Structure 1
Amino acid sequence: MVSEDDFPDFPLLWSRWAAIAAAFVAVGSEWGPRVLPSFGWFEGSRRSGSSLYELPGGRAVLSGGVWNAPELDVAYNGKTPLPRLYAGAPEWVANPVLNTRAGGGLLSFCYWWERGRWYRGESPSAADVAVAVPGIWTAATVADVIYDLLTEHPSEELRSAVTSFVDAAQRRDVTHAQLYEVFGDAADLDAVHYQLALAGVARRGPEPIPQSESLEIVRHHLATEGIDPAAFPPDQLRADRLTVGWLVYVPVEPEEVVLDRALFYVADDGVVEAATSSTPPSVYLSGFEQRFRQRHS
């Protein structure tokens, strides 16, 4: 049957799983989730755990066990039949993609993802198996898990950095710079980044360029294109950070009206796109991001 409102959609669940795994690696913990290509696992401190497999064709399987699952207890004591965890499951929900508890008769839940929906047989609801999965329920839940790992009293700066990190993980665009802001240089950031790279949530392509470099790139572009310095003074340039680059422009006075003023979008790979204010940045940005990702996909 369709599993309504149990787990987040698989792409979000996978990204959040990876973000928590990276945090546990950062603090050097042996507990917590981990990821490999197309595979995640979690073993909690209370003997409950789960596995998450990503399969071709937009499919996935999440299965595991709660150590004191009441439905298994009553079944093994002869009071009721074992729950039909695979009722209605497609043929690809099979032993190779099930948690190892399946081999010992200790599997207490199994969900599968296909056609953009979660499904389950006679598995308990997500609330009843929460102890066996990481805290992937919402972005805020993930952030709370990371705060608790790092400190008892997170500062506002850390909260902001963690929120940005989780958001980037959900977009599959985490950078080294974000990892440094969250975990600092005490952690093995290469190992942390590798966990995210294996999950496919680290940025593909160059790291963010500094603001000063974006300004120099535009100054060079202006000189190369022979643009009149009086119309676009290079020494008055300002740059605002975007998701994958910078928006460079000459600011105008509050009372000044300028139609179709020049704007330059500088991507983190150094590519410059010239535009005008007739297309608002909020509209232009989606195409700018898409072209950047296509260059580095």
Structure 2
Amino acid sequence: MHRPSVPGDLGDPPDLWVRAATLAMLAAVGIDGDEYELSEDRLRCDNAGGSYWWRLTLHGEGRAVFCGQDADGSHGHLREEPVDFLAGGPDWLPLAELRAEQHKGLLGYAYWWEGGAWHRAPYPEDLADDGLELSAGWVIADEEVTEQLWEAVEGGRNAGEAVAAFLGRARARTVDAKAVAALLGAFSPAEPPKPQEVATALEFATRAALTA
């Protein structure tokens, strides 16, 4: 991934949604330690330690926004003349919310999907980083989801393969209880996942539209 990031670093919105929703689903049963909030076409993550946050919102056919900030990696808002992350943005952006966050210094990057591609405001040539990679490196590829879960993956058995298989099911919207159990089981090979954990994860997957 480039530093600072460029629009081409991000995957398509459906791919981002599947990866983000999978991370959030695992957090619902304690495998990912971050805090997530899901509501219809909106998914937000807040790092438990306050190191970063990000939000993915889908705005109808062919439109999406991905924004956030990393406490250590985002530099644009700290400049003497802060970067205007909304410069050149289309009118359909949730500008009231984004401007309020930018005014408070909470925004480190903002990307919007329109016309089949991601876009962002122009950056100064000397901007070192916008923090996208540090806060949400999984936006670049499915493999980075496993990297995000590295602590849990190290304690599992073939967890990386299980994540890849689950992402495929999620992308096809065919997640079911068996797929959830297989994924959770890969992180705790010593014993099968508890029925309540499977039910909780499946309920989240259903709300995130990963099921049929």
Query: Structure 2 length as normaliser, TM-score?
Result: 0.77
Aligned twin of 1:271: none
Aligned twin of 2:144: 141
Secondary structure in structure 2 of the residue aligned to 1:185: coil
Contact 1:36 1:195 (8 Å CA) reproduced: no
- Assess, with a 3 A threshold, how the Cα gap between structure 1 residues 134 and 27 changes in structure 2: closer, same or farther: farther
Greater relative contact order structure (CA < 8 Å, 6+ sep): 2
Aligned twin of 1:85: 85
Q: What is the CA-CA distance between 1:72 and the residue it aligns to?
A: 2.2
- State how far apart, in whole Å, the 2-side matches of 1:99 and 1:14 are: 24
Q: What is the CA-CA distance between 1:89 and the residue it aligns to?
A: 0.6
Which residue type is aligned with residue 196 of structure 1?
A
- State how far apart, in whole Å, the 2-side matches of 1:52 and 1:32 are: 14
Query: Segments of 4+ in structure 1 off by > 4 A?
Result: 123-127
Q: What is the CA-CA distance between 1:50 and the residue it aligns to?
A: 1.4
**Unpaired runs of at least 5, structure 1:** 76-80, 205-297
- Identity value in percent: 20
Q: What is the CA-CA distance between 1:28 and the residue it aligns to?
A: 6.1
**Unpaired runs of at least 5, structure 2:** 1-5, 185-191
1:188 lines up with 2:197 in the alignment: yes
- Assess, with a 3 A threshold, how the Cα gap between structure 1 residues 71 and 98 changes in structure 2: closer, same or farther: closer
Q: What is the 5 A alignment of 1:1-297? A: 4-27=7-30, 31-44=34-47, 45-68=49-72, 69-75=74-80, 81-95=81-95, 98=98, 101-122=101-122, 128-133=131-136, 135-146=138-149, 148-149=151-152, 151-156=153-158, 158-183=159-184, 184-186=192-194, 188-202=197-211, 204=212
**Number of equivalences:** 194
- Assess, with a 3 A threshold, how the Cα gap between structure 1 residues 4 and 126 changes in structure 2: closer, same or farther: farther
- Assess, with a 3 A threshold, how the Cα gap between structure 1 residues 12 and 42 changes in structure 2: closer, same or farther: same
Contact 1:64 1:99 (8 Å CA) reproduced: no
Q: What is the CA-CA distance between 1:179 and the residue it aligns to?
A: 0.8
RMSD: 2.7
- Assess, with a 3 A threshold, how the Cα gap between structure 1 residues 119 and 87 changes in structure 2: closer, same or farther: same
Which residue type is aligned with residue 145 of structure 1?
Q
